[in-house]
Chain A
Amino acid sequence: MQELSVRHLLGIKDITPQDIQLIFETADNFKDVLNRPIKKVPSLRDITIANVFFENSTRTRLSFELAEKRLSADVINFSSSGSSVKKGETLLDTVNNILAMKVDMIVMRHSSPGAPHFLSKHIPANIVNAGDGTHEHPTQALLDSFSIRERLGEVAGKKVVIIGDILHSRVALSNIFALQKQGAEVMVCGPITLLPKYIQQLGVKVETNVRKALEWCDVANVLRIQLERQQMKYFPSLREYTLYYGIDKKMLDSLNKEIVLMHPGPINRGVELSSDAADSHHSIILNQVENGVAIRMAVLYLLAQRG
């Protein structure tokens, strides 16, 4: 298998374990490229990619843009602020106008779940979902697993707990799919109000005590509280959340084993993670960011190959 089974990367749900393996093997080679004196290959020099961001982003957008440039693609950037979206243009019209300028691939972030799926049915370009509302964020889940594989050798058989605002997290859902497809055990942990009601049906364990969750796991992926998506109060105060669900170095050191600590960013220091935990030797947060570029290069390269 040297080709992806899909033309678009809309979500981890749609891809096979073999696809994930292929992406990882390709990313290994791109990681090597990124450590050379000249960090650029000419593979995508005849491809134009539009980064279409209808929602704020720093890391993901920079990471995609860097990946595209390292592959020698031509890049155009679009963000909804200051665009005709504010003047009432529909999503399909906006994207079709971009495509009329001969663009081959679209990297899109949108606040509505399913927006990239809708587009994929109507336009000929390859689409990469860079986050659709509270639904999926496939490249984040891929780089998370890739980082676990790098630190622990393999993902299969590992116990991973995702802690925090599961209800509003696209990172959580994509991670659950990705980890399960690779044979890892997944647990979610958070206040009961921030856990989706039927989450057990995905085959994950549920825990509300963060200490018990940490004692169970090999890897803890800690999420941010997404206040901007919360339309009602799910817990009394951030201070109370920190008191019950915040993780600090003392807690990590008191476990009778080494665990790996991850965070997709942006971190709210002092809320879900204390500074000494985020900067401790347990943490692979900056490795995740580094691996993000290699993973995105692999995804873009393999999708371009499909045409």
Chain B
Amino acid sequence: MQKRLIVNHQLLEIMVMRLCHQLIENHGDFSDSVILGLQPRGKYVAQRIQRTLASILGKQVPTGLLDTTFHRDDFRRRDTPIAANATKIDFLVEGKKVILVDDVLYTGRSVRAALDAMIAYGRPASVELLVLVDRLYTRHLPIQPTYVGRQVNSLLSQRVLVEWKEQQAEEDAIWLVTKTDE
């Protein structure tokens, strides 16, 4: 397995800061906006965005966690089953401007499932998608992000890995992982 660093921790911090300013451009004081992090890995991105926005705006933007397991289209079709995670949304989505947050956008299937899962909490006014990494030319569905940290060209056999200190990683970083036959 080969790991190549594509974004180091300083760049990642700048990237999150830029994404937050782009959000502020569109959402102003976030009075009608909420953030939903997609479980499991979008959780860390959502928390980071919430914290950074708090440092700029001086207020906590309502942030929830959305699990998509029961809404996925690959139930009984996967080799390894995925375990469900907690959904924690302590506000109504009805009439809100929702920002879905995930780390990597790949086939778009998780986002489709997330849209489906989110509707169970009400009808939002609008939905946007924020991702740290957009893997180009890999989409199975017509889904595009609204806010992108970095576009990455990658092979199907490769994987983009976002690591956070909160997950006991040494540093925040984004890696491109290539599987090698050993």
Contact = CB atoms under 8 A, between A and B. Distances in A.
Interface of A: 2-3, 22, 25-26, 28-30, 32-33, 36-38, 40-44, 46, 301, 304-305, 307
Interface residues of B, number: 20
Contact of A41 (B70, B82, B85, B121): B70
When A and B form their complex, which 3 residue pairs have the shortest distance between CB atoms, in order from nearest? A41-B70, A38-B120, A29-B84
A3 B76 CA distance: 12
A29 B71 contact: no
B102 interface: no
Contacts, number: 52
B24 interface: no
A40 B120 CA distance: 8
Contacts of A28: 86
26 contacts: A2-B80, A2-B81, A2-B83, A3-B81, A22-B83, A25-B83, A26-B84, A29-B70, A29-B85, A29-B86, A29-B87, A32-B86, A32-B87, A33-B87, A37-B120, A38-B120, A41-B70, A41-B71, A41-B117, A42-B70, A43-B70, A43-B71, A304-B75, A305-B75, A305-B81, A307-B76
Contacts of B85: 29
B33 interface: no
Contacts of A46: 76
Contacts of B71: 41-43
A182 to B, nearest CB: 20
A38 B70 CA distance: 13
A304 B70 contact: no
Nearest to B92: A37
Interface in B62-105: 67, 69-71, 75-76, 80-87
A2 B86 contact: no
B121 A36 contact: yes
B63 to A, nearest CB: 17
A306 to B, nearest CB: 9
Given A22-B83, A38-B121, 20 more contacts: A2-B82, A2-B83, A25-B83, A29-B67, A29-B85, A29-B86, A29-B87, A33-B70, A33-B87, A36-B120, A37-B120, A38-B119, A41-B70, A41-B71, A41-B117, A42-B70, A42-B71, A42-B116, A43-B75, A307-B76
B28 interface: no
A70 to B, nearest CB: 10
A304 B120 CA distance: 23
